[in-house]
Structure 1
Amino acid sequence: MSKIDLAIAGTPSRQPATAAFQRNARLWLSLVLLLADMMALAAGFVIGLRVAGIPILSMEVWQPLAGGILVYGTIAFHNQAYNPRCLTSMTASCRSAVMAFAGTLLIFLLVVFSLKVTDNFSRLGISTGLFFSGALIVMQRVLVVRAVRRHFAEGLFAQLLIIDDGLIPDDVNGMTIVDAPTLGLRADLDDPYMLHRLGMLLRDFDRVVISCPLERKADWAQMLKGGNILGEIIVPELDPMAPLAVQSHRGVSTLVVARGPLNLANRAKKRLLDIILTVPVLIALAPLMIAVAVAIRLDSPGPVFFRQERIGRGNRLFHILKFRSMRVEQCDTAGATSTQRDDNRITRVGRFIRSTSIDELPQLLNVLLGEMSLVGPRPHALGSTAEDQLFWQVDRQYWHRHALKPGITGLAQIRGFRGATETRRDILNRVEADLEYLHGWSLMRDIGILVGTARVLVHRNAY
């Protein structure tokens, strides 16, 4: 068995049917919410048409209205109006829908006045339709939220309670409970395999609550921050954990210490950008990659690709792919020794592909597999050190980077923070840049980083 297999051996998981049901329930309820919005818009304008005395089946009326409904759906999705939170929070649901409706109305008015077709529309019908459409949208959203709360309560989200010698809340109905000592799970920030074990346990859950003694709370908080999940710790008092919020869980005080940095819509945008760019780039670079593979085989014996364990999103381990640039017998799979200038382990072909960053191209396959993104914090080898300290020992915030998928390039790279990590400052610069990216993500920033990467493909620190 590999180390990864050993790390997850004996780890209990949720019943697949239960986890799938909760995911499917959220998806279908979101679709119901979308359909209800469309019906509310249509019904509101039917009322407006009847009041204005306009035939309901007139195509001249329904064509622009259908366009307006489509625009509303697009704005509403972008505005998180179909986020799972809108299924349980009346305020969030109505606010998102009203903002989307206002945006649609603004676009409608701009188009109408730009095309100078105001005389073609009944002002009475339009104003009546807008009033009833807005009212029906708010009304149906209130009804949907009440129905979801009544029929699903807290069963709409998968919740995990990890007990690490801590108190057990009185009300644990609907939660999956795990006893950490029995499972061999502990808050060990110096063990990447333990973090991987926790990541594998959390992957089917939407929320995790930790109950542990005071002296372990800070370590559990650090472990959860990179877990890409809503994480909370049961506490009777406030500790220096940089909490995101204070909440109450089943009558027990909790500190929220982690949330996934990107919501569903933003993750979809980022993944779509990855796919749209990666597929054509792989096709275009296929001849180059084949030529490099042949050159590597002719230059030195051994495989074309170098595979190494790295830490990905949610602190889960994956195998990164690179073109092999070192002699097989001298490859450092743990990454304990940083590559130096004029490193004698590097082959002739390896020196060229490293200096031009061509050795990173196979990571496009990692992107296609969903293990990496084009832009994100660079994943490091488990044994990487700075001044004889492992990266996570230099700065405990290092683990926070893993709330996002690792990237082929990132903010740290375009700022020139790459190459050997000889001092603590070398890794601190990268962590600071990665956290800045994590907390200020936007799609345009990803595009800007990709453009900026073209300027640093050949860099003095690339060797």
Structure 2
Amino acid sequence: MYRKYIKRILDLIFSIIGLVILSPLLLILIILIKLDSKGPILFKQKRVGKSKKYFNILKFRTMRIDTPKDVPTHLLENPEKYITRIGKFLRKTSLDELPQIINIIKGDMSIVGPRPALWNQYDLITERDKYGANDIYPGLTGWAQINGRDELPIPVKAKYDGEYVKKISFWFDLYIIFRTIFSVVKAEGVKEGANQNKH
């Protein structure tokens, strides 16, 4: 019941409330992004959704418009040269993810679920297939996110996503949301650049 109906209803309610409450902050961030560098406010990227259907994920643009496309930031050789000044702050605080509230309202995503893979992250998509993690809506945050985020090797990340699929419930989602807030405050698990050491 929760998995099939209630989760989506709660996603919709909390996303609309969140959009209203956060609208002053979103407006400030939009102005700062426009003042900081040339280019669009939002960054769109093709990601893998439920049942491996593609959708465009929305983020606040944190990088210059000449950044290589469809390369995860942690795989760029020198991401610092592409990240804008406001972008550095947005990424550290995870505020760049806020436009995904629109993705949730549209029905592309859920508040909690596996983080949507890039369309060309074939190894991650294949691993998730083993656990049925491609059969549910991807999330703004997830079980793997609060257990290591960018630091996790792909097989481990997919295994956490599989655990989430088995354990989906209201209380588990609530636990993940609260853990996410603490992780964001402490900026845990964020890795920038292919030359960074893994912990």
1:349 Cα deviation (Å)? 0.5
Q: Distance in 2 between matches of 1:406 and 1:383?
A: 16
Q: Which consecutive aligned stretches of 4+ in structure 1 deviate over 6 angstroms post-superposition?
A: none
Partner-residue secondary structure (3-state), 1:456: helix
- Other-structure match for 1:333: 69
Aligned match for 2:58, one of 310, 321, 329: 321
Q: Structure 1 residues 382 and 398, CA, compared in 2 at 3 Å: closer, same or farther?
A: farther
* Structure 2 residue ranges without an equivalent (≥5): 193-199
Residue-by-residue CA offset, 1:76-103 (whole Å, 9 max, x unaligned): xx6xxxxxxxxxxxxxxxxxxxxxxxxx
Q: Distance in 2 between matches of 1:337 and 1:285?
A: 26
1:435 Cα deviation (Å)? 0.2
- Other-structure match for 2:162: 435
- Residues 1:446 and 2:173 aligned together: yes
Q: Distance in 2 between matches of 1:446 and 1:271?
A: 12
The answer to whether the 8 A contact 2:60-2:98 is kept is yes
Q: Structure 1 residues 400 and 335, CA, compared in 2 at 3 Å: closer, same or farther?
A: farther
Q: Bigger shift: 341-350 or 320-329? A: 341-350
The structure that has the greater radius of gyration is 1
1:328 Cα deviation (Å)? 0.5
Partner-residue secondary structure (3-state), 2:80: coil
- Structure 1 segment 45-444 matched on structure 2, within 5 A: 266-330=3-67, 332-335=68-71, 338=74, 343-384=80-121, 390-392=123-125, 395=127, 397=129, 400-415=132-147, 417-419=148-150, 426-444=153-171
Partner-residue secondary structure (3-state), 2:175: helix
Q: Distance in 2 between matches of 1:406 and 1:396?
A: 11
Q: Distance in 1 between matches of 2:158 and 2:150?
A: 14
- Structure 1 segment 21-36 matched on structure 2, within 5 A: none
The answer to whether the 8 A contact 1:379-1:406 is kept is yes
- Other-structure match for 2:195: none
TM-score, normalising length from structure 1?
0.39
Q: Distance in 2 between matches of 1:396 and 1:434?
A: 7
Residue-by-residue CA offset, 1:200-255 (whole Å, 9 max, x unaligned): xxxxxxxxxxxxxxxxxxxxxxxxxxxxxxxxxxxxxxxxxxxxxxxxxxxxxxxx
Q: What is the aligned residue count? A: 189
- Other-structure match for 2:197: none
- Other-structure match for 1:174: none
The answer to whether the 8 A contact 1:310-1:320 is kept is yes
Q: Structure 1 residues 342 and 373, CA, compared in 2 at 3 Å: closer, same or farther?
A: same
1:336 Cα deviation (Å)? 5.3
The answer to whether the 8 A contact 1:301-1:328 is kept is yes
The answer to whether the 8 A contact 1:320-1:366 is kept is yes
The answer to whether the 8 A contact 1:312-1:371 is kept is yes
* Paired-residue identity, %: 36
Q: Distance in 1 between matches of 2:14 and 2:145?
A: 19
1:266 Cα deviation (Å)? 3.0
Q: Distance in 2 between matches of 1:396 and 1:283?
A: 34
Larger RCO: 1 or 2 (CA < 8 Å, sep 6+): 2
1:324 Cα deviation (Å)? 0.3
1:430 Cα deviation (Å)? 1.1
The aligned amino acid for 2:189 is: N
Residue-by-residue CA offset, 1:325-369 (whole Å, 9 max, x unaligned): 000111x43225635686221111000000000000000000000
Residue-by-residue CA offset, 1:166-202 (whole Å, 9 max, x unaligned): xxxxxxxxxxxxxxxxxxxxxxxxxxxxxxxxxxxxx
Q: Distance in 2 between matches of 1:427 and 1:328?
A: 28
TM-score, normalising length from structure 2?
0.86
